Amino acid sequence: MPPPEPEPAPTAPLTRWWRGAVVYQIYPRSYADANGDGIGDLRGICERLDHIQALGADAIWVSPVFRSPMADAGYDISDHCDIDPLFGTLADADHLIHEAHARGLRLLFDFVPNHTSDQHPWFVESRASRDNPRRDWYIWRDEPNNWRAALGAGSAWTWDELTGQYYLHLFLSQQPDLNWRHPPVVEAMHGVLRFWLDRGVDGFRIDVAHCTGKDACFADHPRCLAGEPLSSFNDHEHSHEVLRGIRRVVDAYADERVLVGEVNIRSTESVVRYYGIGDELHMSFNFPPLDAPWDPVVFRTCIREVERLMRAEHVWPTWVLSNHDNVRHRSRYGGSMRRARAAALLLLTLRGTPFIYQGEELGLEDAAVHPERRVDPGGRDGCRAPLPWRRAAPHGWAGAEPWLPFPPDAGALSVQAQEAEPDSMLQWYRALLRERRACAALRLGDWEELPGPPEVLAYRRRHGEDERVVCINFAAHALLVELPGAWRVRLATQPGREGRDYDGTVHEEQGLLLAPAGGAP
């Protein structure tokens, strides 16, 4: 069989919606609560779609809302084809799909292929007896190897008293790993994809997409000996086969349904392989920038690496600075709002599809969560705090106290407060998204680094005649950055320079978006 066509070079005309899109991640527990139980829900999302529309995002990824005992906040699924009562009903999911589409927003659901909940009927059967027809749906062994689980869960193997074997779980013991080498599992999980595709979702974010394929010999791994969980580096050929199968399911549907994978290996070189030859992921997360401190050398290295490796393979990058698993980037940058503004400029002007994690458009920091209120066994509560909608407490969360405390400065950073404030972070994100939407160079253009002082990241985006330059000064003092030609400031992280000619200076920790001086004002 001839190999499928490779993805077109990024300079070719691009029609694929996801390449020009900005995706907004909703963490449903903390987005908006319609039923007043203190936990966000699907109706809450529907009621607050205006916020995403006003922001100017094109698509939404919703973290899991399926039936779950919530050992891992919904990433432990006990029924893939139903909604957990915490979040609502299937009818609410249908309504959300409909409402999002009515507003021109695409909707991606989370697909969790690596594991289910231990309460899933498949696992309940699998652990019932060794000769149960579903025994091989999960991974059972007589002897454990040295593989470590993530989320501080210790060994990746749990002993099952009843049947006298160990089962594998790369995450919590309540999240047994599915056996993707067993054809009925593949068929059943493809059925899950079709269930949601038939209901109209525009694609999926695939949870730990690099984990489904495992070493069939179960060899010990030296990195596990050193205490690292296998999920941080597992990178087996079989995961690619699993992804090719998933891609075939999705490609059978019209309207370009899309797969974006969480390949949670901190190596861009490995990440690139998960695009296959245009037959695996459409896009993959690439997390080195999400770990990066506020440091021009680290960012420059990450960006150059992406450009070098992804351009060579003609694959489309993504950019992510925050999500529900990591400390928010403003907190990571020492709490600095100024840096967070510059980071937003970076996120939204690099070549690739940006993902915004709910609340970063408000400049939120992680919440301080008292030990008694901790929920997540993986210690990730801080970035999962509820979104403050209104200035006055309880910030739009009428009813029971929210499941986690609010982030710092919730009133001043609320949507309501920032809507009234022309220079707020929210207005800054809106301006950036507006600019991006109107500018082919920013959405689809090529990327070229420009020379400058080492503390400044300067680059040009170009698409035909359309051009923009971005300068970001990481230093705490102003620097001269000479640019060829005449430029005008379109957007600046601090007010006062917009619409003026660029004078060759970038102020301390300032970011500038420049357009040719001869162009439209």
Give the residue numbers marked as catalytic: 207, 262
CB-wise, 118 or 325, nearer to ligand GLC?
Answer: 325
Nearest to 266 by CA among 203, 340, 210: 210
* Residue 111 CB, nearest approach to ligand GLC (Å): 11
* Residue 151 CB, nearest approach to ligand GLC (Å): 6
| DSSP-derived 3-state class of residue 156 | coil
Q: Which residues contact 511 (CB under 8 A, 6 or more apart)?
A: 341, 342, 345, 346, 470, 471, 472, 473, 492, 493
Residue 462 main-chain phi, psi, to 5 deg: -140, 135
Widest Cα–Cα separation across the chain: 76
* Residue 67 CB, nearest approach to ligand GLC (Å): 15
Q: Which residue is at the shortest CB distance from ligand GLC?
A: 75
What six digits make up the tokens of 368? Answer: 């301080």
The residue to which tokens 């609320």 are assigned? 414
From the DSSP assignment, how many helices (H) and strands (E) are in the chain?
15, 20
* Residue 239 CB, nearest approach to ligand GLC (Å): 14
CB-wise, 333 or 357, nearer to ligand GLC?
Answer: 357
CB-wise, 324 or 460, nearer to ligand GLC?
Answer: 324
Give the DSSP per-residue string, 442-507: HHH-EEEE----TTEEEEEEEETTEEEEEEEE-SSS-EE---SS-EEEEEESSTT-TTSBP-SEE-
CB-wise, 45 or 71, nearer to ligand GLC?
Answer: 71
Nearest to 207 by CA among 316, 295, 119, 111: 111
CB-wise, 86 or 491, nearer to ligand GLC?
Answer: 86
* Residue 495 CB, nearest approach to ligand GLC (Å): 36
CB-wise, 23 or 472, nearer to ligand GLC?
Answer: 23
| DSSP-derived 3-state class of residue 202 | coil
* Residue 262 CB, nearest approach to ligand GLC (Å): 6
* Residue 198 CB, nearest approach to ligand GLC (Å): 24
CB atoms within 10 A of CB 513: 26
Specify the DSSP class assigned to residue 395. T
Residues at the site binding ligand GLC, with contacts judged by CB under 6 A: 72, 75, 112, 171, 207-208, 262, 264, 324-325
What six digits make up the tokens of 228? Answer: 């690292």
- C-alpha distance from residue 269 to each of 19, 284, 458, 513 (Å): 20, 12, 24, 30
CB-wise, 72 or 361, nearer to ligand GLC?
Answer: 72
296, with CB counted inside 10 A (0-12, 13-18, 19+), is middle
